[in-house]
Amino acid sequence: MKTLEILQKVKNNELTIEQAQKLIEQPLDYATIDYDRKKRTGNHEVIYGAGKTKEQIIGIVKNMLDHDIHSILITRVDQEKSEAILKEFPQMIYDSLSHICYIDEDQKEINKGKIVVVCAGTSDLPVAREAMLTAQFLGNEVELVSDVGVAGIHRLFHRLDTIQRANVLVVCAGMEGALASVVGGLVDKPVI
């Protein structure tokens, strides 16, 4: 409910001032949205969708939009939830590989430096793409280096110039768990 609607209900004696204050300050009983996070950190709150129902996610998004937050990132969204979200908010984009829904209408300053997301194999792409899209949403220049697992380490060496130009690396590897250690041994930058 928008603030004007709440105030109109107070005027019509449909709500008390205390009820209106609660609705304005924290209108959802299942979520506490940090409206001032962007002022403090430079980025809005991210919605973790895995543990929420589609109704809860839609309620949170509506509330954020009502509070003029027009850059919204929802992670871990399955197909069923994404369909409901896109029906309610057709302006949102769903990336089926990373399971991310987002709308990004805020002007952002691009952070200094570059993040390179490295993944071992094709089965690691969903997590790598989630990391990549999240980092981009948060205002970073990001490049993806995929399918460079240590089982064919020559593939990693072919992308070494890109990897060494990174300021931070995010390494995603399931069965190729050694990849993070190998990359860490090739660079003098933080490896996550």
pLDDT, tens only, 92-144: 999 999 999 999 987 777 889 999 999 999 999 999 999 999 999 999 999 99
The domain that holds 157 is classified in CATH as: 3.40.50
User: Is 127 part of any domain?
Assistant: yes
Q: Which two tokens stand for residue 121?
A: 């194999």
**Sole residue written with tokens 């992670």:** 75
Same domain, 159 and 140: yes
Range of the domain at 93: 37-104
Look at residue 1 in the predicted model and tell me its pLDDT: 59
Contacts of 121 (CB under 8 A, 6+ apart): 147, 149, 173, 174, 175, 176
Shared domain check, 151 and 90: no
* Residue 159 lies inside a defined structural domain of this protein: yes
Residue 6 domain flag: yes
- Tell me the per-residue pLDDT of 144-190, one tens digit each, with 9 for 90 and over: 999 999 988 999 999 999 999 999 999 999 888 899 999 999 999 99
The string of pLDDT tens digits covering residues 46-77 is 999 999 999 999 999 998 998 889 999 999 99
Whole-number pLDDT of residue 132: 98
Share of the chain above pLDDT 90, in %: 68
In this structure, what token pair is assigned to residue 74?
């929802």
Say yes or no: 63 and 43 in one domain. Answer: yes
Q: Is residue 191 part of a domain?
A: no
Residue 91 sits in the same domain as residue 46: yes
Q: Is residue 50 part of a domain?
A: yes
C-alpha separations of 162 from 140, 186, 187 in Å = 16, 12, 11
* pTM of the predicted protein model: 0.84
User: Looking at the domain assignment, is residue 109 inside a domain?
Assistant: no
* Residues 6+ positions from 28 with CB-CB distance below 8 Å: 59, 60, 63
For residue 62, give the CATH number of its domain: 3.30.110
Q: Is residue 192 part of a domain?
A: no
